[in-house]
Amino acid sequence: MIFAANFKMNHTRASTKAYLDALNQKLASKRSEDRVFIFPPSTALDHYDGDFTIGAQNAYPEKNGAFTGEIGLDQLDEFGIKTILIGHSERRDILGEDQALIAQKFSYFKSKGFEIIYCIGEALEVREEGEDTVMVHLLSQFKGIDLAYEKLIIAYEPIWAIGTGRSAKVEEIASTHSTLKKHFDRPLLYGGSVKPANIKEITAIEGVDGVLVGSASLEVESFTEMIFC
């Protein structure tokens, strides 16, 4: 099982270090087959020792250059970062990243051998149109994405369930994951208001290979409770 924590615009360098120190102590007894990913804000990227993988929430698809406010391969290489989150709905919908830019990022970081957690998801109005419409929308988000890439992990996050406290129903997750799995043979995570109260029922769903956790991962006790569920 994969457990990925996306801190988004939360935590500082100091609080991230304290979090990871505490997490590492708890992970000493985790299941050997489980993998743990942490995506801190870019200001907290660093070399950290532990039984977890540190990834970048975002980066520009260049080594360096005149891209104000961005980080690139040089900055990631400094800390040995080889994992990145691409396609998150907040970058698509709030920050305006279109599929062409997302695919460009994917191709660039694929060429550099990064492990990529690639996010897809639909808005509530799409979900309300029915499963067929949902799948057309989700599959459109794979345009320009190499689904055979061996270092690809996919995360399905219904946008209407992110940060709302409302997770998708078990039946909705199971159906969507089952249909998606017909199109690729890569690990598939679920994200969207995952928390200690629902982690067991979500990870028990066939076709769910792990979770991408937002707000419930910000406290180390909450996140480790999910890892050891």
Please write the tens of the pLDDT for every residue from 108-150: 999 999 999 999 999 989 998 999 999 999 999 999 999 999 9
Tell me if 175 is assigned to a ligand binding site. no
pLDDT tier for residue 170 given thresholds of 50, 70 and 90: very high
Tell me if 8 is assigned to a ligand binding site. yes
Rounded to an integer, what distance in angstroms lies between the CA atom of residue 195 and that of residue 211?
10
Numbers of helices and strands, H then E, in the chain: 9, 8
Least reliable range by pLDDT among 11-20, 39-48, 71-80, 119-128: 119-128
Give me the number of domains the chain comprises. 1
pLDDT tier for residue 208 given thresholds of 50, 70 and 90: very high
The residues that are catalytic are 88, 157
Kindly report the backbone phi and psi dihedral angles of residue 36, in degrees, each rounded to the nearest multiple of 5, phi listed first.
Answer: -125, 130
pLDDT at residue 166 is higher than 70 = no
Assign residue 215 the CATH number of its domain: 3.20.20.70
Per the prediction, the chain carries an average pLDDT of: 96
Residue located via tokens 């992990």:
153
Tell me if 110 is assigned to a ligand binding site. no
Tell me if 67 is assigned to a ligand binding site. no
Q: What is the signed CA dihedral for 189, 190, 192, 195, rounded to 10 degrees?
A: -90
What crossing angle do the helices spanning 131-140 and 170-180 adopt, rounded to 10°?
50
Helix (H, G, I), strand (E, B), or coil: what is residue 153? strand
Domain with 53, as residue range(s), is 2-227
Please write the tens of the pLDDT for every residue from 10-34: 999 999 999 999 999 999 999 999 9
Q: pTM above 0.85?
A: yes
Tell me if 200 is assigned to a ligand binding site. no
Q: 198-223: b or e for each residue (b if 16 or more CB lie within 10 Å)? A: bbeebbeeebbbbbbbbbbbbebebb
pLDDT tier for residue 162 given thresholds of 50, 70 and 90: confident
